[in-house]
Amino acid sequence: MDRRRFIALAGLTVLGGSRASAQHTGHSTPLPEAAPSPDPYARLQGGVPHHLTPEQEAQRVTDSPAPAGPQQGRWVSRAALPIPRSEMAWATVLNDRMHIIGGYGEGRVDRAYHHVYDPASDRWFNAAPLPRGANHVAVAADAGRVYALGGFIEQNRNPDQNAYVYDPAADRWSPIAPLPRPRGAAAAVVLDGRIHLIGGASLPVAERASVGWHEIYDPQADRWTQAKALPGARDHVGCVAHNGVIHVIGGRFNTFEYNTNLHHVYLPTKDTWEERAPLPTARSGHGLVVYRNRLFAMGGEAGRIEQGRPIQAKVFGQMESYDPGSDTWQHHAPMTTPRHAVGATVIGDWIYVAGGGAVLGGSVQSAVHEAFTLT
């Protein structure tokens, strides 16, 4: 028995689960199962397995300047991604399953991957791939559908206008109205049945400059409209909707050399933005989710690359949470494996954080999958 099959069977034995049914996955027929990767890391160059060097492991940072929360929480391992991946940007939940779409993997940056994670059985499945592969694709789910918006077709640059909607019953993607302006590494979030696409980076390809664009997609009309731009153009932000407003936190001005701790809130009734308490650790490529009525930020990266070498490289493991009621931050147990460009979602009482970059930049992908709970 090969190692990949052994890992998959071992997971089933521990969980005692049966094959996911169409009722549970939201698909008319079960999706094909995808065994966890036997290798936690792979290099982008060549797509070959990789072992982190001591210098690469030294990039990990977990200290937070925020005060400690009364509950630190804990992290546990979950089934590894089927392949090491990063730069998915970011993940979404549909029918209590996590969808991770596009990104870097197997030596390419234009992958059309679509993996679906079932937390009840701790297993991964292959779903219909994107019609066109890309990295840094913005994703969101609403009304029984998954939306994939824009992305880059080269490594972290050359943005696309493509937009698609995924029907889980048919396991099929269909094109929708394209983005008014091409961009990748933007944030997509649903509010009141509409999808807000905020920030990102665009043309010209050589500059890959951050933008503050704010466009809203109406699924019923299949139409885009403009809203007030984000103050401070940036990409690789954390973005969530909570209590009728949208939070945009952190990110970068053009590159991870110029990270920010900015925290803006969009007020849809006024079509305006306001500032809130800044992120304790300035970072980009981090995950951001709503969990127990707080906003939790985890992971990210910072540093610069000179002549192909990382300088002052940091891969963050901080888990910091924000209370909208008091406008304050605190920190919790850091990630077991610091990463950036992760897929992060909340299902039940757990935050699931899958894949991501293991070192500064996109040179090493990860299949690591860990979950956090305050319980």
pLDDT digits (tens, 9 = 90+) for 150-209: 999 999 999 999 999 999 999 999 999 999 999 999 999 999 999 999 999 999 999 999
Structural domain contains residue 328: no
| Region 215-221 average pLDDT | 98
Structural domain contains residue 304: no
Q: What is the pLDDT of residue 158?
A: 96
pLDDT band at 17 (very low <50, low <70, confident <90, very high): very low
How many domains does one find in the chain? 1
CATH code at 158? 2.120.10.80
* Whole-number average pLDDT of the chain: 93
pTM of the model: 0.92
Alpha carbons 197 and 218: distance in angstroms, whole number: 11
Structural domain contains residue 23: no
Q: What is the pLDDT of residue 88?
A: 85
Please, are residues 103 and 86 in contact by the beta-carbon 8 Å criterion? Answer: yes
Structural domain contains residue 366: no
- Containing domain of residue 241, as a range? 3-14+30-63+81-284
Q: What is the pLDDT of residue 56?
A: 96
pLDDT at residue 112 greater than cutoff 70: yes
Q: What are the φ/ψ torsions at residue 11 (nearest 5 degrees)?
A: -65, -40
Strand 294-298 relative to strand 263-267: parallel, antiparallel, unpaired? unpaired
Q: What is the pLDDT of residue 1?
A: 39
Alpha carbons 317 and 147: distance in angstroms, whole number: 28
pLDDT at residue 27 greater than cutoff 70: no
Structural domain contains residue 302: no
Structural domain contains residue 179: yes
Q: What is the pLDDT of residue 4?
A: 37
Lowest mean pLDDT segment, chosen from 8-22, 264-278, 327-341: 8-22
